[in-house]
Chain A
Amino acid sequence: MSLIGRIIATEKIPTTMDEFYFWTDKSLILSPFDVVKVEHVNNSNTFAVIEEISHITDCASFLSNFISSDFGDVNASEGTYRIGMNYVKAKVVGNDKNIFIPVQSSAKVHLANKDEVSIALGLNKIKNPLICGYLEMYGGTSDFEKITLPVNVDSKFLIGPEGAHLNISGISGLASKTSYAMFLLKSIQDKCLLEEEEEDKEKETVAFVVFNVKGKDLLALDEVNNFDGDVEDERKTKELYKMLGLNTTPFKNVTYLYPYSNERVSNTYAEKNLLEKQSSLNKAYKYKFEYEKDKDNLDLMFANIDDATQTMDSILNYIINNQGGFGGIKSWQSFLEKLDERCQAGGSFSDKEIPVTSWRKFNRMIRKSINNNKLFSDINSDKKEVRISDKLAEIKKNDVYVIDIAKLNSDMQAFVFGNTVRELYELQLGEKETTDGVKPPDKIIIFIDELNKFASSEVPKSSPILKQILDIAERGRSLGIILFGAEQFMSAIHSRVTGNSSTYAYGRTNAIELAKGDYKYIPHVYKNMMTRLKQGEYIIQNPIFSSLLNVKFPKPLYKQFK
């Protein structure tokens, strides 16, 4: 029987267009996000999502309960259970005949079947479907079948042009932010590869640029996950992928860009044999920065410096415009020497508008990053050394570029990230030519974990990286640069970055975070749920869904490092 209760409408708590309450048996296990169906006028059905479940009895006060235990005898028992019921608050998500008058008192409330859940949540009419997880419903109802339903999002609302950018938030470890982002990227890559097989020329082409910011997390995206030898786990996971219509292989077309390391200094957590293997398969390259081509991006090193008087800015302009002899320089060493000259007291330079002290400050900061850093040296292409910028110009549809920045210090991470984003921006703007003259992919998705490092609300407003990210957030949708950002606390991110995201994925988080204004619109119970979400569970918000959705996703299929 799917009939589970009846609508309650009282003087004080009426049913409204938005929500209603119904009573149900106290032993019926329902969960927030479960969908219910209410019989409504004109033989229509109103669908609603459960928001809150309460249990009441006729016990008038705490004292009454105390008295009912023989005035405080903890061993007292009762002859009759107190009359009690559960009442459920549900939020209306739609009516199959578009009738929006409130549901009527005593109307019958049913659990919905798979198709009805699909209709209720707006999952049945999604164009350009792209798998973003699956949902499970009625898991606790013994006499009603559990529903497992793949959830698709309209790709145009995730990667443009209708809506773009994704923000994933959740606390480290428990939320599996990276895994979820990778799941979505895999889903997109699968879809694109399938369309390619079907030779659907109309479809858009997509490439991916992923930053590895933690250990070796993303350094074997194209290798299979062995599930620690747990065959059952592997079987179940693969079954889930099949159920979702995805293939069970890891990522394809992956290229790894590691920061240059030599024998003595390693700039990556990747082991030697992994690097060698990937290198032998022509999948791994080492990136470096050359003075002549990369000096224009020196501003990115000052991303976290407050430059109120804009002296650093003036010096950067001075250098980039090749003034004062900075144009003829070919190497970073010469550049540093030249800077040293500028820092000499009483130097014989014609332009005195930039004081020596500013040059000295600039010198100090630049040296911190560049001096003795092997990343800033000339490229030896025979040893698979590349400039990130050049390599990005080769990006083709369905390519996945993994740029490893995990072991770099935060200034360098910012520099590499900023540099990459800037290059991609220019590539999509058409200001930069691709290597073989072919048009770059229609969309390039950038995934960066710890977005708070670059786009936190506390980053100085003058930060060139922040400006770059804001540009992407605000204009990337039309240009085809899509940002998938992840961070622990969404509230810490610049509001223009989060505000321009079309999709939000909330993983497990803590109560302090949820007390912030960013979560004001989220119902109280869902907020509490967010503090209890399991690994592999997300609450998704996207304009095409009629309500927040609690989705799950399977474990990754690419190799996991412990």
Chain B
Amino acid sequence: MGNIIGIIEKETDGKSFKSHKYCNDTIDMSGIKYDDNDKVIWQNYGETEQHKTCINLKDRADVLRNGKSIFTYFLDGSRHTYKVDDISYNKNVYPILAGQVGIGCCRRVNKELKKEQFLRKLLIVLPDISYRDGWGERSFFNGLLEKINDNKRLKDYLNIEFSDVLTYKRDQDDKLEKKGVAVIQDYMVDLEKDAVADLVLQGKLDQDNYLIKDGSLEYQAGSVKSKNKKNLSDKRIANNYKYVVGVSKSFNPTTCLVKSGGSNSDIIANLKPFERTPAYMYKSERSGNNVYFVIWYLRLRDSKYTNNVFDGVLKVEKLVISEREQEKGLDSELIDHISANLLNERNPVCYGNDSRWANHIYPIYLTESFVKSKYLSNNLFMQLF
């Protein structure tokens, strides 16, 4: 048994309960899923051409088939969260959470994936009441982090280091544990944003080298440590996303409302293989002021082979950057090009390895597997506490 809890108990004057440790989830919860935001309303056409029907891109995809894909980089972030103990402060009991966050980015060269960057962060999340002295919270938790990392077992034997001690707020009306998990989630999103910024800084993204980000780009405004950092509403940050496409494999089409009323699920359900829906503009409420996305759906596989009619459909998302785009929508030509290239990602599939095979695109699946392979085992991680 580790004694991290002991250190926390001592440093924060709490009382540990040595309660049952468990892992919250071992499944991937990467990104923010479309379906957790039920206020999506398709506003206007999001592209220059006003298509009335779905667009078949099979021929276009076939032409591109033997050339180099525009997608070179693939980004995936994931996290495992754990409830490691309960601790009491002022006679109230609060959960202590911990997490492993992994961000992996792979580069495709000659149809083979290579590692571009990888980050693994180990986190501890405490209730904010664990620090009760008012100001100077950050330096207190940095000090606590140092003491935890100084632990002989971590340092000398396992060579493991925690990256941060974070806090969750007690004052919101939600389950405490869920709030802790949200902090870890936000931390992961921050790392994802950093990874994109990094690629842009190195000049790696351009019109021939796009990045596919697994999941939605609709990030919550602000970062874990500052409300105003890394917001998509910041034009400099938004510019990073010029060559980034968010591809979500799970979404809830019944909650995607059309402006004129009703749901668009029918359009998606009726998509034929290799067709895309017209693109719509969508204004995000959660990502900050004036943040617009262009969204469209693309069917990779015939629904006759899949479990339900929405399997085999990808939700594609691109951040609107310029005012011109906001006004006239994305160039339909670009949307077709991106879609055709995405269609060519339909093979190979991870059938048999992942139940979401029909919606998964293989390089993302590989990136995800790469990130997962780097996690500490759940048992080992929980034993640290």
Interface of A toward B, CB cutoff 8 Å:
58-61, 63-65, 67-71, 76-83
Contact = CB atoms under 8 A, between A and B. Distances in A.
B50 interface: no
B111 A79 contact: yes
A79 B366 CA distance: 13
Contacts, number: 67
Interface in B199-227: none
A281 B160 CA distance: 86
Contact of A80 (B65, B348, B369): B348
A69 B108 CA distance: 20
A79 B113 contact: no
Interface in B317-350: 344-350
Contacts of A80: 108, 111-113, 345, 348, 362-363, 366
30 contacts: A58-B353, A59-B348, A60-B351, A61-B352, A63-B351, A64-B349, A65-B348, A67-B305, A67-B349, A67-B357, A68-B347, A70-B346, A71-B302, A76-B347, A77-B65, A77-B66, A79-B71, A79-B111, A79-B346, A79-B347, A79-B362, A80-B108, A80-B112, A80-B113, A80-B362, A80-B363, A81-B111, A81-B112, A82-B348, A83-B366
Q: What's the dominant secondary structure at chain B's contact region? A: loop
Contacts of B78: none
Contacts of A76: 347
Interface string B95-126: 00000000000001001110000000000000
A67 B301 CA distance: 10
A66 to B, nearest CB: 9
Contacts of B302: 71
B352 A60 contact: yes
Contacts of A70: 346-347
B349 A68 contact: yes
B113 A83 contact: yes
Contacts of A67: 305, 349, 351, 357
A27 to B, nearest CB: 10
A136 B61 CA distance: 48
A147 B101 CA distance: 47
Interface of A is mostly: loop
A64 B66 contact: no
A-B complex: 3 closest residue pairs judged by Cβ atoms: A60-B352, A68-B348, A64-B351
A86 to B, nearest CB: 14
Contacts of A68: 347-349, 351
B240 interface: no
A61 B357 CA distance: 13
A71 B352 CA distance: 14
Contacts of B362: 78-80, 82
Contacts of B352: 59-61, 63-64
Interface string B67-84: 001010000000000000
Interface of B: 65-66, 69, 71, 108, 111-113, 302, 305, 344-353, 357, 362-363, 366, 369
Contacts of A59: 348, 352
Contacts of B111: 78-81
Contacts of A79: 69, 71, 111, 344-347, 362-363
A63 B344 CA distance: 20
Contacts of A63: 351-352
A69 B347 contact: yes
B383 to A, nearest CB: 18
A515 to B, nearest CB: 35
A58 B350 contact: yes
B110 to A, nearest CB: 8
Contacts of A71: 302, 305
Contacts of B108: 80
Given A60-B351, A81-B111, 8 more contacts: A63-B351, A68-B351, A76-B347, A78-B348, A79-B69, A79-B71, A79-B346, A83-B369
A82 B348 CA distance: 7
Contacts of A78: 111, 347-348, 362
A77 B353 contact: no
Contacts of A58: 350, 353, 366, 369
A75 to B, nearest CB: 10
Contacts of A61: 351-352
B208 to A, nearest CB: 15
Given A58-B369, A71-B305, A83-B366, A77 B351 contact: no
Contact of A77 (B305, B347, B350, B369): B347
Nearest to A57: B348
A2 B111 CA distance: 25
Contacts of B369: 58, 83
Contacts of B65: 77
A351 B385 CA distance: 104
A103 to B, nearest CB: 21
Nearest to A66: B351
Nearest to A60: B352
Contacts of A64: 348-353
B314 to A, nearest CB: 14
